[in-house]
A and B are shown apart, each in its own frame.
Chain A
């Protein structure tokens, strides 16, 4: 298993930290994800809620897929199913050839809320998943330092989360995900809590890291611009109960320069094309919301 840190080390200027890990060739390393007729329903006080209609989706190894859709459409449910956090009511999810298991070493998660432990320093938070996997202290320290360097927070290793800005906190969370060198990244609105400027910087940072690494990524977002900026493919979800409405290849060549995308005509064409579909869902969702409210 080669990981993000291996490549990231180069930028960190710390060769040999992970001597056993071969250098990345930039080829796909992640496992493919196969979602077959998966549906999910759960019981609530209002009866049985169908969170996700039967859904099928194939993500190639090393592919970056973004899912966009109105809020409450089941995007997060799909991610939880792929991450093994929730079991499907019907159907099957496979990562590579295995059923996803929560906490599996090759899975990395990033959520909207950073979830940093306030009593640990930035370095302590990044070290947490390694401690849980009983990685030896010396290796742990080297990997934490290398990963913090990758997200540009070496100078803040000893800061507590309360001393960091929102953007820095989310970068610590990103480092915490990358430090275990996962080959499949599951990200649920990871940048949504950041202000617009910080979010752009995170896109830049993250793309640079990922384009060298090419793990398989499933990104959930409500921000279509973000989806097109980052992903190889954008999948549009319908409003609740969720199902896939369309899938769009983003054929903007890599490495992408986030700053140049605004001037890229193709970016805007894609945005318009996908937006017409997405807008439908948003507007209809809104209408049904209003009719409910007026009842």
Chain B
């Protein structure tokens, strides 16, 4: 008797929660709008705080770095100094570092990652059509994907020379598998209910592919593209660091060898900026394409 009385109170909140859930289920979508705009309001208020935080973190790190370098806590010969790095960065974005080297790196990465993405997405779509083909290629892809691709850089330099081609090939050799596997995951994730529906509607194989499989694979294809581009930059810069005529990787190797640390950090900033600009563009396209999928925002 005591026990039931003790247990009784917790049951009520659960029932209320249940009612509330049902009520929100039945409410027309328009009623939810106030909640959403309130959330938006809160997030715009937070944005100011976040931006102040960004500045604070930057000033804190750069300031500590500057002070430490000025007072001999760290040796600027090895670490550079933020004020001088700033000057060198302005030199970099107004000089050949941007117009020649950054351009060479970005072009190589875009061509390599772009071509590899087309191939990667394409082969995933083709192999997804046939279980046999897929199983034939699976072990080779697994082994090649496991191989640290940077190990191929010397080989590609021998084969394709120190120009554009060897960078493109190294970037592509990494990006291909990233986009391939991400597309495969997307194709495999197609909802079984959707496939049943497609059959019930009498959809042809091509229609099933175009109207059901491809759209449901788009989110993970975009994951692949964004990751693939970042890896494409990695491959390009690695190839340039080994040998090359132009490119941010070439600059980095040279500046490190000459102990030009301020220049080195300025080049790093340029590299980060270039990568962020292109990733940002991809993210923008993704958000436009996937507006229906509000919850899905993955940062790469």
CB pair B202–A113 under 8 Å, yes or no, is no
List of A residues within 8 angstroms of B28 by Cβ = 165
Cβ of B197: which chain A residues have Cβ within 8 Å of it? 109, 111, 115
| Residue in B25, B191, B211, B294 whose beta carbon sits within 8 Å of that of A165 in the complex | B25
Known contacts A103-B201, A119-B293, A162-B292; A113 and B193 CB within 8 A of each other = yes
B62 at the interface (CB under 8 A from A): no
Do B29 and A164 have beta carbons less than 8 Å apart? yes
Nearest A residue to B204 via CB reads A132
Contacts A115-B197, A128-B211; is A198 near B25 (CB within 8 Å)?
yes
A103 touches B29 (CB 8 A): no
- For residue A163, CB closer than 8 A to chain B, the reply is yes
Decide yes or no whether B27 CB sits under 8 A from chain A: yes
- Interface: A159 (CB within 8 A): yes
- Report the bound CA distance from A133 to B201 in whole Å: 8
Given contacts A111-B193, A131-B211, A164-B29, contact A118 B292 (CB under 8 A): yes
- Asked if A285 is at the interface (CB within 8 A of a chain B CB), the reply is no
Residue B41, interface by CB 8 Å? no
Given contacts A115-B197, A132-B207, A103 and B202 within 8 Å (CB-CB): yes
- B40 interfacial contact with A, CB 8 Å: no
Q: Is the interface of B mostly helix, strand, loop or mixed?
A: helix
A119 to B291, CA, bound (A): 8
Do A162 and B294 touch across chains, with their CB atoms under 8 A apart?
yes
Q: B203 contacts A132, CB within 8 Å?
A: yes
**Is residue A102 within 8 Å, beta carbon to beta carbon, of the partner chain?**
yes
* A156 touching B29, Cβ below 8 Å: yes
Nearest-neighbour CB distance to chain B for A151, whole angstroms, equals 14
Q: Does B26 contact A (CB under 8 A)?
A: yes
Q: How far, in angstroms, from A159 to B200 measured CA to CA in the complex?
A: 24
Interface residue from A103, A133, A159 paired with B199 (Cβ < 8 Å) = A103
Do residues B200 and A83 form an inter-chain contact, with CB atoms below 8 A? yes
Question: How far does the alpha carbon of A103 sit from the alpha carbon of B194 in the complex, in Å?
Answer: 14
Q: Which residues of chain B come closer than 8 Å to A103, judged between CB atoms?
A: 199-203
A197 to B211, CA, bound (A): 34
CB within 8 Å for A85 and B200 given contacts A115-B191, A118-B293, A132-B207: yes
Which residue of A120, A133, A162, A166 contacts B202 across the interface (Cβ within 8 Å)?
Answer: A133
Counting chain B CB atoms within 10 Å of each CB, which of A104, A115, A164, A198 scores highest?
Answer: A115
Give Cα distance in the complex from A28 to B193, angstroms: 31
Question: Which one, B29, B204, B215, contacts A117 given CB within 8 A?
Answer: B215
Q: Are B199 and A102 in contact (CB under 8 A)?
A: yes
Interface size band for B: 20 to 34
A119 contacts B27, C-beta separation under 8 Å = no
| B212 CB within 8 Å of chain A | yes
Among B25, B211, B212, chain A packs the most CB atoms within 10 A around the CB of B25
Contact of B29 among A113, A163, A198 (CB under 8 A): A163
Q: How many A-B residue pairs have CB under 8 A?
A: 74
Query: Does B196 count as interface, using CB distance less than 8 angstroms?
Result: yes
- Complex CA–CA separation, A194 to B181 (angstroms): 38
Q: Which residues between 192 and 240 of chain B lie within 8 Å of chain A, taking CB atoms?
A: 193-194, 196-197, 199-204, 207, 211-212, 215-216, 218
CA of A167 to CA of B292 in the docked complex: distance in angstroms? 19
Query: Which residues of the partner chain B approach A117 to less than 8 Å between Cβ atoms?
Result: 194, 211-212, 215-216
Q: Which residues of A contact B292 (CB under 8 A)?
A: 118-120, 160, 162
Q: Is B22 an interface residue (CB 8 A)?
A: yes
Q: Which residue of the partner chain, among B26, B212, B294, contacts A167 with CB atoms under 8 Å?
A: B26
Assembly CA distance A129 to B26 (angstroms): 27
Separation in Å of the B35 CB from the closest CB of chain A?
13
- Interface of chain A residues 125 through 169 with chain B (CB within 8 A): 128-129, 131-133, 156, 159-160, 162-168
B-side contacts of A198, CB under 8 Å? 25-26
26 sample A-B contacts, Cβ–Cβ < 8 Å, listed by A number? A83-B200, A85-B196, A102-B199, A103-B201, A105-B202, A107-B200, A111-B193, A113-B193, A115-B197, A117-B211, A117-B216, A118-B293, A119-B216, A119-B218, A119-B290, A129-B201, A132-B202, A132-B207, A165-B25, A165-B26, A165-B27, A167-B25, A167-B26, A168-B29, A198-B25, A198-B26
The 9 A-B pairs with the shortest beta carbon distances in the complex, nearest first, are A103-B202, A115-B193, A109-B200, A115-B197, A160-B292, A129-B201, A165-B25, A119-B292, A132-B203
Residues of B within 8 A of A (CB): 22, 25-29, 191, 193-194, 196-197, 199-204, 207, 211-212, 215-216, 218, 290, 292-294
Which residues of A line the B interface, CB within 8 A? Answer: 83, 85, 102-105, 107, 109, 111, 113, 115, 117-120, 128-129, 131-133, 156, 159-160, 162-168, 195, 197-198
